[in-house]
Chains A and B, each alone.
Chain A
Amino acid sequence: MSLMAFMGVIGFAVARLRNLFGVVMLTGIFSLTGAVLYVVLDAVDVAFTEAAVGAGIATVLMLGTLALTTSEEKPASDNKPLLSLLLVTVTGAVLIYGTLDMPYYGEATAPINNHVAPRYLEESGREIGLPNVVTSVLASYRGYDTLGETFVIFTAACGVLLIIGRPQRGRRRARRDANWDIEHGIRKNVILRVVSKLLLPLILLFALYVQWHGDFGPGGGFQAGVIFASAFILYAIIFDVDLARAVIGPKVTRFFLALGVTLYAGTGTACLLFGSNFLDYSILLDEQTRGQHLGITLVEFGVGMTVAAAMVTIFFTFASQER
């Protein structure tokens, strides 16, 4: 409860703060506090994703936007705050009135816990055979939804490419060669270079571990994709963006972006071709649980590829802009 109150405090601070850099940092802390809250509320998969995504990628992207739009702190000026406050208070009061007959926190007899969820918890051991119920619900019982979400991530990456993919008139790519970086930039920093070189293979290894271990513990495709992308983002930040772009060029990222969703939809279509429903993995192999395992592994891998490629694409599109 106190964690939630803490989050409310941070929310107020974000509203009151004018320095945009501080606002972005507070948002990172807000996401991390949310992740801790989710662990306390038994949502370990969600906490993992929130920590990786909210405190990692979102903060990096917002900082990139700040670097591109406002070169210094720009205060936000409020006009007509009274009308907004009134509107907000009225809406808040109506919402609180609406929550008055909701079920109490933690009740096992609440309607949300009593229709489909017990069926998933009881039957997934027999039908799918994976310990992590969240993964089996995500990839198998509700696999169609996850296919749609993967397409949304794909579309967002395409959208970012379309909107700021080509630097506009008035922006040039500054030609900075490696010597300038070694003299002045962050590349001159021996400690950062060495430690990041030590950490990069471990980050990639951890991403692969999270990907495949998602069946047995918290993890899965989304988290693994984000962690995989963060390795490349770290490399791009410490070393030059151009160098990182040479390592993982546009062709590679676009290929994997499309390959992930193709793998996911392809697995579903393969199930159709084998004679069963779309995304019904039981038909893929001789035994039902083994077919489900294979199907879940394939689609999670597809999700991981698309998410990683999307995050890398979005970051590099932001980073290739010039001030």
Chain B
Amino acid sequence: MEFVLDVASWVLIVVGSVMLVIGGIGVVRLPDMFARMHGAGIIDTMGAGSILIGMTFQAGFTIVTVKLLLIFVFIMFTSPTTTHALARAALGGGVRPWVDQPPEDDDAGDGGASSKT
């Protein structure tokens, strides 16, 4: 039983770390600001979530597990909200998503700062 728990937590922590690296590469290399937020979302949910669940397997049925699960719940609440707030603020500030076909009725030209860098 111990061995199964160890293997499970190993798998989850390694998967979480790989997701962190992938998300990090995404945040740096994706072309558009809104696409980069998808990378940040991977970091928060898959990365942090997997590592936390892996640690609960190590902790067993103690108070530490309850604390870890509470942290997981709070991260699930707050990180999508912050990404939403960031996207909303960016739209309000004039950053426009990078699309292949700009909409036909874009008569004002490029309305604000372009988000493609």
Contact = CB atoms under 8 A, between A and B. Distances in A.
A198 B77 contact: yes
A199 B84 contact: no
A195 B77 contact: yes
A192 B88 CA distance: 10
B78 A195 contact: yes
B35 interface: no
B84 to A, nearest CB: 5
Main secondary structure of the interface of B (DSSP, over half): helix
A41 to B, nearest CB: 21
Nearest to A194: B81
Nearest to B81: A195
B14 interface: no
A189 interface: yes
Contacts of A189: 85, 88
Nearest to A192: B85
A86 to B, nearest CB: 35
Interface string A197-224: 0110010000000000000000000000
A202 B73 CA distance: 12
* Chain A interface size range: under 10
A202 B71 CA distance: 12
A191 B84 contact: yes
B35 to A, nearest CB: 19
Interface residues of B, number: 7
A182 B81 CA distance: 19
Interface string A173-199: 000000000000000010110010011
Contacts of A202: 74
Nearest to B84: A191
B92 to A, nearest CB: 9
Contacts of B81: 191-192, 195
B93 to A, nearest CB: 11
A202 B70 CA distance: 11
A198 B73 CA distance: 13
A189 B85 CA distance: 9
A189 B84 CA distance: 10
Nearest to A202: B74
A118 to B, nearest CB: 30
A199 B78 CA distance: 9
A175 to B, nearest CB: 22
A241 B27 CA distance: 33
A199 B77 CA distance: 9
Interface string B78-90: 1001001100100
A192 B84 CA distance: 8
Contacts of B85: 189, 192
Contacts of B77: 195, 198-199
A199 B74 CA distance: 9
Contacts of B88: 189, 192
A281 to B, nearest CB: 30
Contacts of A198: 77
A199 B82 CA distance: 13
Nearest to A188: B88
A202 B77 CA distance: 12
A198 B77 CA distance: 10
A191 B77 CA distance: 11
A203 to B, nearest CB: 10
A191 B81 CA distance: 7
Among A189, A198, A202, the one with the most B-chain Cβ atoms within 10 Å of its Cβ is A189
B110 to A, nearest CB: 18
A89 B9 CA distance: 48
Nearest to A184: B92
* A-B complex: 6 closest residue pairs judged by Cβ atoms: A195-B81, A191-B84, A192-B85, A191-B81, A189-B88, A195-B77
Given A191-B81, A192-B85, 6 more contacts: A189-B88, A195-B77, A195-B78, A195-B81, A199-B77, A199-B78
Interface of A: 189, 191-192, 195, 198-199, 202
8 contacts: A189-B85, A191-B81, A192-B85, A195-B77, A198-B77, A199-B74, A199-B78, A202-B74
